Amino acid sequence: MKIVLTVGHSILKNGNCTSADGRPFGGILEYAYNKNTVNRVAEYLRSVGHIVDVLICPELKFKKSSEEKDYKLSRVNNGGYDLAVELHLNASNLHNARGCEALYRTDAGKKIAQQIQNRLATVFKSRGIQKRTNLYMLNSTTPTTVMLETFFCDSAADCDLAEKTDVALLIAEGIHGGEISQPQDRPVEPAPSGILYRVQTGAFRNWKNAEKLKADLEKKGFDAFITTVDVDGLLYRVQVGAFSNRSNATAMVIRLKSAGFDAFITS
């Protein structure tokens, strides 16, 4: 299939992001998450032979969110695509909802929506697929189109699940309609065995400062711990998670940065 993957929303000229922002509620910024995830979805789909383009609106260029529509539709409708899938994350008024949804308008869209929903629902609570006729990405697009509300960006619990999951793989498998072997299983991209990617958020000489950062992280729902190394005297490093898959570590860095913490990967 020739597929275009689009990321919902953009960052406007004035610096405002048009997406939902779950950060004040212990979650993440919808746009930032999807911008990171989309390239991994594309990579998985290309690995099984699909032709995939990624479409992200230019940043700091548009004055209003309505410019996103023209930018995307002209490209989606003139690219000769069989399928368009747009990535979103959900948010609720009371910030207490959870789960995954896939939206469609046509019968062909329904089939793909159900396939993706089935994969996402292995991890997230299923809210089902929904026929929608009032969304421009569904009613003004030429290719078969599906929009995903993969999980709730303002639910700390959903974000925790997402962080432990290769969400991009689930989406790609749903689009593909079958299993896709993970990069570490493919000879083209061998993962160095035994390497753990650790995400570090700070390093301190003073143990109390490390404890304070750990407490701040835990308050925001991160599972933090302190490790000690001897670098010309004891150094207390505050870390969140250790991952065998680098892309999962990267997703965690993005989540930490979205929550206002400094973070980088050490291995």
Side chain identity, residue 217: L
Distance from C-alpha of 137 to C-alpha of 147, rounded to nearest angstrom: 8
Query: Of 103 and 217, which CB lies nearer to Zn ion in the complex structure?
Result: 103
Of residues 23 and 88, the one with the C-beta less far from Zn ion: 88
Alpha helices in the chain (DSSP H): 30-47, 66-77, 107-120, 136-139, 156-163, 167-176, 207-219, 246-258
Interface with Zn ion, residue 88, by CB under 5 A: yes
Q: Applying CB under 5 A, does 127 fall inside the site for Zn ion?
A: no
Judged by CB under 5 A, the residue of 8, 26, 183, 202 near Zn ion is: 8
The region of 1-9, 153-161, 182-190, 219-227 touching Zn ion under the rule CB under 5 A is: 1-9
User: Following CA atoms 130, 132, 137, 140 in sequence, which dihedral angle do they give, to the nearest 10 degrees?
Assistant: 140
Residues contacting Zn ion: total by CB under 5 A: 2
The interface region with Zn ion, picked from 6-14, 140-148, 189-197, 215-223 by CB under 5 A, is: 6-14
> What is the CB neighbour count within 10 angstroms for residue 257?
16
Q: Applying CB under 5 A, which part among 81-89, 128-136, 169-177, 241-249 lies near Zn ion? A: 81-89
| Of 48 and 135, CB closest to Zn ion | 135
Q: What span, in angstroms and rounded, lies between the C-alpha atoms of 130 and 241?
A: 35
**Nearer Cβ to Zn ion, position 8 or 183?**
8
- Residue 21 makes CB contacts below 8 A (sequence gap 6+) with 29, 30, 91, 153, 154
Binding site for Zn ion (CB under 5 A): 8, 88
